DNA sequence: CATATCTGAAAACATCTGTTTTCAGATATG
DNA sequence: CATATCTGAAAACAGATGTTTTCAGATATG
């Protein structure tokens, strides 16, 4: 409440900068932990501070609690993924297969370069209901992003229910990317993206309800 | 080690029976908790005993620890689901669409009748690596069970890697069933099964690797 | 140099959990 | 009836964790 008055220079660095760097160190450490296969149960205050090389004291300087850090980490990863994927899809030729492939390729490349991000987005066991909601929301976002032609066909709304087709695609992609990160799937990135693109397309081209309106 | 000597009659019931009933009460209570949306982090010894109406003392009579109970609950649910689904698939006409529909219908009906089972199998956030491994194994089992014609085509081995197609189907079905249980999907059971059957078929009919062998 | 702030480490306190043990009362058995 | 076992509830103990506070030393500022 009355903290903006102090903040001296220390070690030649401004107070705001030191705080911001500590915050970033905590987010990085949080990503290390959330991006491991232990799930978010291992995200402890002491643990993340040790990983960040900071004193416990500084945790509450930047975050109100465990959940606040988890959300910050998740948002940090999602935001970057959304930005780059949107750019890749936009830059791709105006054709369903090309756009889907471009988006999937961006995701595959990103999580291959930093598996922590992939595990956080797709495979980490989240017990935190806030994080689960974020994942649902961002899944919806990506499904819309990648399947914008499906959106045009079927009229998927971002606010109302998701079609079973979209749910299926999101779940299928998550599972496939997770297995790929695990090493369970012995595919190179190129073939993974090819394969997922074809499956995505095949599902998209199904009529939403063969015998009439779906509800 | 030397417990099989005692076990008196109490309340008109044999000692073995009392133990077995307490074990069943604990498994039921464990299913209540694991089948809630809190994930397996809420499966505490005190909690499950309270839910079962038993004293903490009796937990370790039947289980070595938290993990042992979790595994017992999971196996209990999986075993029943596998048995009834296998029966449904076997009884269905010898045709891919009919067999897939029969299997999916059995799963949908079972989890609609007891959502705890569905949430445990598909949606609960599992931080327990033992449970995660069980889920992978049983997913493999069900994918093979439902897609036996795909198995014949692609030669899916239960011991080696799973094809990306199978991973996609398992993940897609899990996500879709989860959303259906949540109420996110406003479909009746019939349409859900129809839709999943068509998607399943469409994916199955894709060639595994359009440009050659997959690895 | 004197004082105020910052830093790192650790202590402190409460709570939750796993696990074992105690104990008074209920029940069966000789 | 006397004794051994069973039951339910709770206490006890250790460890992990969230969260706040203390404290000695480092660093900047007047």
Dump pLDDT digits (tens) for B81-116: 999 999 999 999 988 899 999 999 999 999 999 999
| B184 shares contact with chain A (CB less than 8 Å) | yes
Closest by CA position to A159, among listed A136, A126, A130, A129? A136
* Contact partners, residue A147, CB within 8 Å, separation at least 6: A100, A156, A166, A169, A200, A204
What's residue B1's pLDDT?
39
- CB contact (8 A) between residue B171 and residue A176: yes
pLDDT at residue A54 greater than cutoff 80 = yes
| A168 CA to D17 C1' distance (Å) | 38
Contact residues, chain B, for A161 at CB < 8 Å:
184-186
For residue B41, the distance in angstroms to the closest alpha carbon of chain A comes to 7
Cβ contact B83:B141 at 8 Å: no
Cβ contact B112:B204 at 8 Å: no
Nucleotide nearest B8, CA–C1', reads D5
Question: Cα(A105)–Cα(A126) distance, rounded to whole angstroms?
Answer: 25
The pLDDT tens digits for B9-23 are 998 888 899 999 999
The pLDDT tens digits for A111-145 are 999 999 999 999 888 888 888 888 888 887 887 77
What's residue B45's pLDDT?
97
What's residue B191's pLDDT?
95
- CB contact (8 A) between residue A191 and residue B39: no
Q: Give the residue extent of every domain in chain A.
A: 2-204
What's residue A15's pLDDT?
84
The pLDDT tens digits for B139-159 are 878 877 776 654 544 444 443
Q: Which of B38, B129, B172 sits opposite A169 (nearest CB)?
A: B172
DSSP H helices in chain B:
15-34, 45-52, 59-62, 66-91, 96-113, 115-118, 129-146, 148-154, 164-182, 189-204
pLDDT at residue A101 greater than cutoff 80 = yes
Q: Classify domain B2-204 by CATH architecture.
A: Orthogonal Bundle (1.10)
- CB contact (8 A) between residue B168 and residue A173: yes
| A28 CA to D30 C1' distance (Å) | 39
Q: How confident is the model over B110-123, as a mean pLDDT?
A: 95
Q: How confident is the model over B178-192, as a mean pLDDT?
A: 92
| A182 shares contact with chain B (CB less than 8 Å) | no
Both tokens of B103, joined, read 């299997």
Nucleotide nearest B65, CA–C1', reads C18
Q: What is the mean pLDDT of chain A?
A: 86
pLDDT band at B135 (very low <50, low <70, confident <90, very high): confident
| B18 CA to C21 C1' distance (Å) | 22
Contact residues, chain B, for A40 at CB < 8 Å:
127
Q: How confident is the model over B33-54, as a mean pLDDT?
A: 93
pLDDT at residue B61 greater than cutoff 80 = yes
pTM to 2 decimals?
0.87
What's residue A153's pLDDT?
47
Q: A211 beta carbon < 7 A from strand C?
A: no
Between positions 41 and 100 of B, the ones with CB within 8 A of A are: 41
Instruction: Give the position of tokens 């011991």.
Output: B159
| B68 CA to C26 C1' distance (Å) | 31
What's residue A145's pLDDT?
78
The pLDDT tens digits for A154-197 are 444 444 446 889 899 999 999 999 999 988 888 999 999 999 99
| Interface test mutation site (partner B, options A97, A199, A200, max chain B beta carbons within 10 A) | A199
Q: Which of B126, B179, B199 sits opposite A125 (nearest CB)?
A: B126
Closest by CA position to B31, among listed B78, B64, B65? B78
pLDDT at residue B8 greater than cutoff 80 = yes
Q: A57 beta carbon < 7 A from strand C?
A: yes
| Interface test mutation site (partner B, options A38, A39, A135, max chain B beta carbons within 10 A) | A39
Contact residues, chain B, for A178 at CB < 8 Å:
171
What's residue A211's pLDDT?
44
**Who has greater pLDDT, B66 or A147?**
B66
User: Strand C positions with any atom < 7 Å from protein CB?
Assistant: 5-11, 16-22, 27-29
Contact residues, chain A, for B194 at CB < 8 Å:
210-211
Cβ contact B184:A166 at 8 Å: no
| Interface test mutation site (partner A, options B133, B163, B176, max chain A beta carbons within 10 A) | B176
What's residue A8's pLDDT?
86
């Amino acid at each position: 409440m009355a903290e903006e008055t102090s903040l001296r220079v220390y070690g030649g660095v401004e107070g705001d900068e030191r705080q911001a760097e500590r915050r970033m160190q905590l987010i990085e450490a949080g990503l290390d932990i959330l991006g491991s296969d232990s799930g978010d149960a291992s995200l402890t205050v002491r643990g993340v501070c040790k990983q960040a090389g900071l004193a416990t004291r500084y945790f509450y300087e930047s975050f109100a609690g465990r959940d606040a850090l988890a959300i910050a980490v998740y948002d940090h990863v999602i935001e970057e993924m959304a930005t780059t994927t949107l750019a890749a899809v936009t830059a791709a030729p105006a054709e369903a297969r090309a756009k889907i492939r471009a988006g999937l390729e961006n995701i595959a490349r990103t999580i291959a370069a930093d598996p922590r991000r992939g595990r956080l987005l797709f495979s980490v066991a989240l017990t935190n209901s806030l994080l689960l909601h974020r994942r649902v929301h961002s899944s919806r976002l990506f499904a819309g992003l990648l399947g914008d032609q499906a959106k045009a066909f079927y009229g998927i709304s971002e606010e109302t229910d998701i079609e079973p087709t979209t749910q299926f695609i999101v779940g299928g992609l998550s599972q496939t990317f997770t297995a790929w990160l695990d090493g369970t799937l012995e595919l190179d990135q190129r073939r993974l993206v090819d394969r997922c693109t074809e499956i995505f397309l095949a599902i998209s081209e199904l009529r939403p309800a063969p015998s009439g309106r779906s509800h």
